[in-house]
Structure 1
Amino acid sequence: MSVFSSGPCACGSGLRAVGCCQLDLNTLGPASGSRHLLPVVDEAIACHARGAVAEAERLCLEVLELAPGQGGALAVLYQIRKAQGAASAAEALVRRLVLIDPNNVWATQELALLLFSSGDLGEAEIHARNGVRIAPVDPQSHNLMGMILTEANRPQVGEFHYRRALELLGDRPAILLANLAWNLKNQGRIAEARALYEESVAHAPAVVQTLLGWARMEETDRDFARADALLDQAEALAPAHPSVLLHRAVVRGRTKDYAAALAILDRIEQHSAGEGLGTNELLEKGRLLDKIGRHDEAFAAFAAGKRKHVEQSGALYLADEAAQMTARLKAFFTSGRLRIVPRAKPIGSGPRAMFILGFPRSGTTMVEQMLSAHPQVSAGDELPLVHDVANMLPRMLNSPLAYPEALADLWMGDQHEGLDNLRDYYLQRIRQLGFMKPGATHFTDKMPLNEMHMGLIALIFPDAPLIHVLRHPLDVVLSVYSNHLTHGFYCSNALETIAQHYVLMLDLVEHYRREMTLKYLPVRYEDIVADQEKHLRRMLAFADLPFDARCLSFHENRRYARTASYAQVAEPLYDRSRFRYIPYLKHLAPVIPILEPAILRLGYSIHA
């Protein structure tokens, strides 16, 4: 029995499955074989242009039934399905168009934009990069790269592409100025971003998204009055716009007017036409309810937000991939092998790396905010460079193997200094990013879950301090569950998978510590809260830095932390997040068996 279906394709394109998602592209004939259909395609294009959508759709379906690879018909049907909000169908159609015609810059850009809109930044970047290769002087190719890299926490590289787009255009369109402003805000360059927002709004005062982005920037910069004024302008243009209302609620939460914030979220729900709150609104509602002690309702909001996110994105924990990678890392990084693996040479001069490691929501942002208040320390924030080095390592070592097995090529005579090259690449990227402040001798790298690559970091930077921030595992799991995060193989959408990944990472860290000599310092979040100065002095001494009292007032550090903790680190140190999990114990019951060994191993108890 054939596995192929002759019925309509499940993607919703309107085509039969055998001519759509089950199509074997190898069976397509040459483009010249469908020349007789070109008049019909031209008619479909003309119908679509004059708004006769139903007729255009009928003609496209007829053509694609006979010639599934006809590019013009695919393009028109794609535009129709996209306009109808049929995301799966639109993606399937434009993917086929890209596969059939890899040099079609329009289709490549459209696919990148669709993937970006759905949150798949990894694959979106692949196609956006190809768009730049195909059309290096097309402003839209560079604009897409800027958008994707900015959201992928590589704003410095994204800035290059935005500025290249402006250069190619020769003028300053308002939307591109707003995009660049958001990028600069994510770099903490608030004054420059504000000037661009002012210019963008002067050119186009009625763009809601620009006003919203500007308001969000002012909120992060703690100018709540100005954020409110901008939201007033946005709401005048788009009354009851859910994004405007959501950020109004965020501002009210920042000013601790929790009742007003919750009332605004109720307004969003009332205007949702029965669809309820979205993922972001539900998570924000849960965090607000948590602050006022309504814990059962807060957890229900978190759970609903996570369910909705999974329904809409399909993002589930990549458990097999995570387990396979950690198993391979453990198999390679063993004491016997590491005795004969070379290390990179010490850095002679220039800025020195400090790695702040830890599971998301463990307190790493707070530690970075404290350390970067030191005049000799610049905040690198969530740098993707260790991950980049791991990905490019096989090519740089000219190895046929993948990472980490490619490190075996270091035993070759022509690769014996390969780690020096990897170190120099990392440091060159640091220089290019340009975030070092005058007088700084050190910088922080705080990418969440860099501990997965702790072995590689120690080979490349054997003298670099590794500060591992630990927090009660139940607090970590609850906090990750209450936020929208993508780190950790998409583990954050269920309590059980967060706990599983937490244990996986803790076991890997213990493996590295057992098998390698590391410059490693574990620091507990709770201990910092209990005695900030003692543990700050300990961390600074570990990094060979003198004590500086300014680090104690880290909330006065005006840099923008690009993490979900940006609001918390703008406040003086508080203890209300210690053992936050206790009122939620009954809800966390499913993960206690998973986490209990780790809890006890770290010196915590379940009933703190």
Structure 2
Amino acid sequence: MDAARADDRPTRRALSLEQALDHAAWLLDRDAREALALADAIVARVPGQPQAALIAGQALRRLDRPQEALDRLAALDRARPGVPAVLWEMAQAASAADAGDRAIAALEALTRRQPDIADGWFLLARELRKTGRGEDGWRADLSGVHAAARDRVLIDAAAAMHAGRLDDADAMLAARLEQVPDDPAATRLAGEVHWRRGDMAAALERVEHAVDLAPGFDLARDFLIRLLLQLNRLPEALHHADILAASPVGGPAHDLLRASVLVRLGDQDGARALYERLLAARPDQPKVWQNLGHALKTLGHQADAIHAYRQAVARQPTMGEAWWSLANLKTVTLDTADIAAMEQALDRLAPDAEARKEDIFHLHFSLGKALEDAGACQAAFGHYARGNALRRTLVAHDADDFAAEVRATAATFTAPFLAAMGAGGCPAPDPIFIVGLPRAGSTLVEQILSSHSRIEGTMELPDLMAIAARLQGRVDDGEFPDFTTMVASLTPADRTRLGEEYLDRTRIHRRSGKPLFIDKLPNNWQHVGLIHLILPNARILDARRHPMACCFSGWKQHFARGQSFSYDLTEIGRYYRAYAGMMAAFDAAMPGRVHRVHYEDMVVDTPGQVARLLDHLGLPFEEECLAFWRNKRAVRTASSEQVRQPIFTDGVDHWRRFAPWLGPLETALGPLATVYPDVPPGL
């Protein structure tokens, strides 16, 4: 090396000053030692040469000699104060030398001179946090985000993303991150590109990294919380929501997001307190009034919920969801003034119908309920039909594909197949799954059972569906040729691990210490075979109702999410057929494994059916199960108000009032509509 340097000396002398400086800068990232030597040689020839002095400081930092770099750069700054490049290098050298105060001073000077350079703000934020000035660091991160919003590269990448040119956006961001690997704004934007592509794992990894790089990046943390909610990672979502709520520039949006996390966790009281605080500060917020109504309804405070919903529609009469929330309190009757107000709202929305579809279909469902209560069945049916038709345009459901999937599942879990799989799975007896169709009485069964001293009611938990979707994804990705092969590949250890995963994921919802808990997601009927394999001692209850009554009730009930089959009478009839057929197949494969509860029997003979149900679960009879309406637990489903009063029989045959218009449903159900509670052979 010394010989090489000796050979270079004549060359150095022969270089012009400009050439020597260019060469020294070129050497920085290739041979910092040689760059330092050349910079020193230049300074020897031209004392005080500023660019050479800067290169020397940069080289010393790269050689892990930060204190020497800082001394040299400080001298340069005294000679030529306020040069941005010098301040930037001083800050990095000071940071590396653990001279936090000097790093902060340099960065504060830099950001005063160049407030539009995001990197300076982000580095300042990191240094401020190191010295315990967390709030100042948070504000510096926010200033960095504000500066990044004017960055041309990021503006172009965001424009490409919003235009659907995801590959272009990805290429621009990849080039940026190649140059600046720790750019928080580019990293968050890259996460959003992955999210728009449907790659949740990559999206989450990028957005988490953005938050790690800039903990005060509120928009990134907001996005992270929403990703975690989509993935049902609720404890992590709450952790970040708590942090976001402490932002020095926080606002109502942060509190609203935290409240939505609390709702998902079942902490309705916590959400209620947040909504009430927001409304105390600013009452003119119809959306917050509506959210408060949801929390109050779930907690069983019906009068207060009605008041909240009324406040929402008074402030925004075209707010369809608030009207539906009011109508959806099954014990509330909307009067003629309400009907007139909703009809006027529809007229006002007509010119903007394409953009206001959600408000419009909610209003149709609400008018259907109001007119049904008034006995105007034909008019009610008309509004239900219009609401359903509009809602159907906004959801994806392929009845043929779904029926094929159900047939494949039923064909998999045969008696020989289950016998061949042998023992396995997590032996814990904790879960009680209540499956079936919505509006089949599952909430009633849940309320009865959760009144028992050994059973905790939770909510409709998405965790089993998430596990099943992940397994199906292995087929969709080509790892297995079909569903049966994938299931057959699960070893006893795999099945144990999956059962334990389910228990781990749902533990956050168990707060009472009771040994058993209920998972009342109706759609889990599609996965009774999987439940049996991974949780062999879990109980499975099938809540069933007359198909005409159940399907009509589901069709006229607007569900917030998850029931895409319910907006067409033919499709909901086909869905019921698929459900009944698969449950019949499983009954044949594993007789007695599923305990069926017919709604009509529960209504007619509640004590006898409750005793039979508890006997199946191996639990002693308790009188509180017959007084289930006194149970104060939170109930989030559409039947929340009905299960807070004794059983009534009015709804059993209510569908017959609409029979003249239910031909498509009856045709889709076929013989199921007439042989209930039996199931036609061969279904």
Is 2:457 the partner of 1:375? Answer: no
The equivalent of 2:555 in structure 1 is 481
Aligned CA distance change for structure 1 residues 258 and 105 (closer, same or farther; 3 Å): farther
SS of 1:417 mapped into structure 2:
helix
Matches within 5 A, 1:187-266: 187-202=265-280, 206-227=284-305, 230=308, 238=315, 240-243=317-320, 246=323, 249-250=326-327, 254-266=331-343
Alignment equivalent of 1:418, drawn from 494, 504, 512: 494
8 Å Cα contact 1:265-1:285 kept in structure 2? yes
Shift of 1:441: 1.4
1:110-130 deviation per Cα after TM superposition (whole angstroms, max 9, x unaligned): 6799x8xxxxxx959678636
In the alignment, the residues of structure 2 paired with residue 428 and residue 521 of structure 1 have an alpha-carbon distance, to the nearest angstrom, of: 25
8 Å Cα contact 1:381-1:444 kept in structure 2? yes
Is 2:648 the partner of 1:570? Answer: no
Moved more, 156-165 or 394-403: 394-403
In the alignment, the residues of structure 1 paired with residue 199 and residue 635 of structure 2 have an alpha-carbon distance, to the nearest angstrom, of: 25
The equivalent of 2:254 in structure 1 is 176
Matches within 5 A, 1:428-447: 428-431=504-507, 433-438=508-513, 440-447=514-521
Moved more, 365-374 or 589-598: 589-598
- Give the counterpart letter for 2:376 in structure 1: R
The equivalent of 1:408 in structure 2 is 488
Shift of 1:496: 0.6
The answer for unaligned runs of 5 or more in structure 2 is: 1-152, 178-185, 354-358
8 Å Cα contact 1:177-1:199 kept in structure 2? no
Aligned CA distance change for structure 1 residues 251 and 258 (closer, same or farther; 3 Å): farther
In the alignment, the residues of structure 1 paired with residue 226 and residue 560 of structure 2 have an alpha-carbon distance, to the nearest angstrom, of: 17
The equivalent of 1:522 in structure 2 is 596
Alignment equivalent of 2:210, drawn from 135, 147, 167: 135
SS of 2:653 mapped into structure 1:
coil
When you count helix as a share of all residues, which structure comes out higher? 2
Identity of aligned residues (%): 24
SS of 1:135 mapped into structure 2:
helix
The equivalent of 1:5 in structure 2 is none
In the alignment, the residues of structure 2 paired with residue 498 and residue 153 of structure 1 have an alpha-carbon distance, to the nearest angstrom, of: 27
In the alignment, the residues of structure 1 paired with residue 534 and residue 192 of structure 2 have an alpha-carbon distance, to the nearest angstrom, of: 39
Shift of 1:375: 2.0
8 Å Cα contact 1:319-1:489 kept in structure 2? no
8 Å Cα contact 1:105-1:134 kept in structure 2? yes
8 Å Cα contact 1:481-1:493 kept in structure 2? yes
Is 2:536 the partner of 1:462? Answer: yes
In the alignment, the residues of structure 1 paired with residue 193 and residue 553 of structure 2 have an alpha-carbon distance, to the nearest angstrom, of: 34
Is 2:403 the partner of 1:323? Answer: yes
Moved more, 270-279 or 442-451: 270-279
SS of 2:597 mapped into structure 1:
strand
Aligned CA distance change for structure 1 residues 148 and 563 (closer, same or farther; 3 Å): farther
In the alignment, the residues of structure 2 paired with residue 188 and residue 558 of structure 1 have an alpha-carbon distance, to the nearest angstrom, of: 13
8 Å Cα contact 1:174-1:199 kept in structure 2? no
In the alignment, the residues of structure 1 paired with residue 594 and residue 263 of structure 2 have an alpha-carbon distance, to the nearest angstrom, of: 33
The equivalent of 1:591 in structure 2 is 665
SS of 1:184 mapped into structure 2:
helix
Moved more, 244-253 or 187-196: 244-253
In the alignment, the residues of structure 1 paired with residue 309 and residue 218 of structure 2 have an alpha-carbon distance, to the nearest angstrom, of: 30
Alignment equivalent of 1:300, drawn from 382, 394, 405: 382
Moved more, 536-545 or 178-187: 178-187
- TM-score w.r.t. length of structure 2: 0.66
Is 2:128 the partner of 1:92? Answer: no
Aligned CA distance change for structure 1 residues 326 and 492 (closer, same or farther; 3 Å): same
1:380-432 deviation per Cα after TM superposition (whole angstroms, max 9, x unaligned): 3211122222234489999932644322224xxxx34221111111111222x
In the alignment, the residues of structure 1 paired with residue 205 and residue 232 of structure 2 have an alpha-carbon distance, to the nearest angstrom, of: 20
8 Å Cα contact 1:246-1:264 kept in structure 2? no
Q: Which has the higher contact order (CA 8 A, sep 6+)?
A: 1
Alignment equivalent of 1:166, drawn from 238, 245, 249: 245
- Give the counterpart letter for 2:510 in structure 1: F
8 Å Cα contact 1:470-1:522 kept in structure 2? yes
* Higher Rg of the two aligned structures: 2
Moved more, 444-453 or 99-108: 99-108
Shift of 1:195: 2.1
Alignment equivalent of 1:536, drawn from 610, 614, 632: 610
Aligned CA distance change for structure 1 residues 600 and 324 (closer, same or farther; 3 Å): same
Root mean square deviation, CA, Å: 3.8
The answer for unaligned runs of 5 or more in structure 1 is: 1-69, 79-89, 116-121
Aligned CA distance change for structure 1 residues 561 and 201 (closer, same or farther; 3 Å): same
1:26-80 deviation per Cα after TM superposition (whole angstroms, max 9, x unaligned): xxxxxxxxxxxxxxxxxxxxxxxxxxxxxxxxxxxxxxxxxxxx974464487xx
Shift of 1:150: 5.3
In the alignment, the residues of structure 2 paired with residue 473 and residue 247 of structure 1 have an alpha-carbon distance, to the nearest angstrom, of: 25
- Give the counterpart letter for 2:547 in structure 1: P
Shift of 1:141: 3.9
Shift of 1:463: 2.5
SS of 2:537 mapped into structure 1:
coil
Matches within 5 A, 1:543-554: 543-554=617-628
8 Å Cα contact 1:474-1:581 kept in structure 2? yes
Shift of 1:279: 1.0
